[in-house]
A and B are shown apart, each in its own frame.
Chain A
Amino acid sequence: MDLAKYRTLFLEEATDHLAEMSRALLELEKDAGNAEAIDLVFRMAHSIKGMAGSLGYDAVTEVSHVLEDRMDECRTAGRVDGPGLGILFRGLEGLERMVETVKTTGEGPPSATELLAELAAEPAMPEAPPPSPPAAAHETPPKKV
């Protein structure tokens, strides 16, 4: 495999994908239920994961995989929640730094243990709120008809 050729392709495409992800996340900041933006971030993360995996850039693969999984949950939920969006931005920044490392060193970036822990710390979507409690016994009883 011509590594230099594929590294160049990776840098070009990953840079474009990260810019698209950034624009989509900004859209989601305005409209958390923007399905097109959710789908785009999912696909960009998926695509970066595939390219990085082919080049053995494990740190990029791991972070993009986590982002892809989070976005898959958001696709199912049909929205991104506020804290979840912050985590997605941090994941994006992490990937940007990693791509920059590949660009400047020509090598895969080191493992991103702290970022991965941060990404895993909060669920992509908060648990559904518990059902409303049954009406308390002391509340006004229904009127007899």
Chain B
Amino acid sequence: MTRVLVADDASFMRQMIRDIIDQEGFEVVGEAADGVEVVEKFTELSPDLVMMDIVMPKRSGIDAVKAIMEIAPQAMVVMCSALGQETLVMEAIQAGAKDFIVKPFKPESVLTTLRKVLEKES
């Protein structure tokens, strides 16, 4: 099982991700509601993969990616973005994120992206 940390300030989105990836070879080991909590949970839980929203309170997703990369340069982070956030997505990729998925989520597309990232990085 791939251990996943999910970060989004909307519990709606965290639940949706959980429902998509649970039982598909992924286990959600933790959730975070802001950019500070995700870095803390990353340190505490050492997940295999992080799924993280770009727009979050306290610390943006991009700043959180940078902080996680400082802790673990090989960390696998996949950004959750919305249409129109292409510039922010590019910034997150430059900061070390491995890939991104676009809201509204299509389950098959989410799973394909996660599998692709895991395959590439293994």
Chain A residues near B (Cβ < 8 Å):
1-2, 5-6, 9-10, 13, 40, 42-43, 46-47, 49-51, 53-54, 65
Contact = CB atoms under 8 A, between A and B. Distances in A.
A37 to B, nearest CB: 13
Contacts of A46: 55, 82
Interface string B67-103: 0000000000000001010000000000000000001
Interface residues of B, number: 16
Nearest to B56: A43
Interface of B: 9-13, 15-16, 19, 55-57, 82, 84, 103-105
Main secondary structure of the interface of A (DSSP, over half): helix
B55 A6 contact: no
Contacts of B13: 47, 50-51, 54
Contact of A43 (B15, B19, B57): B57
Nearest to A36: B57
A59 B5 CA distance: 32
Nearest to B80: A50
A49 B16 contact: no
- Of B9, B12, B105, most buried by chain A (CB within 10 Å of CB) is B12
A1 B105 CA distance: 11
Given A46-B82, A53-B104, A54-B105, A9 B12 contact: yes
A54 B19 CA distance: 13
Nearest to A39: B57
A49 B11 contact: no
A10 B11 CA distance: 9
Contacts of A42: 55
- Of A40, A47, A50, most buried by chain B (CB within 10 Å of CB) is A50
Contacts of A5: 15
Contact of B104 (A40, A47, A50): A50
Contact of A51 (B12, B56, B57): B12
Given A43-B55, A43-B57, A54 B9 contact: no
Nearest to B10: A47
11 contacts: A6-B15, A9-B15, A13-B10, A13-B12, A46-B55, A47-B13, A50-B13, A50-B82, A50-B103, A50-B104, A53-B103
Contacts of A9: 11-12, 15
B82 A49 contact: yes
Nearest to A69: B84
A54 B12 contact: yes
Contacts of A54: 12-13, 16, 103-105
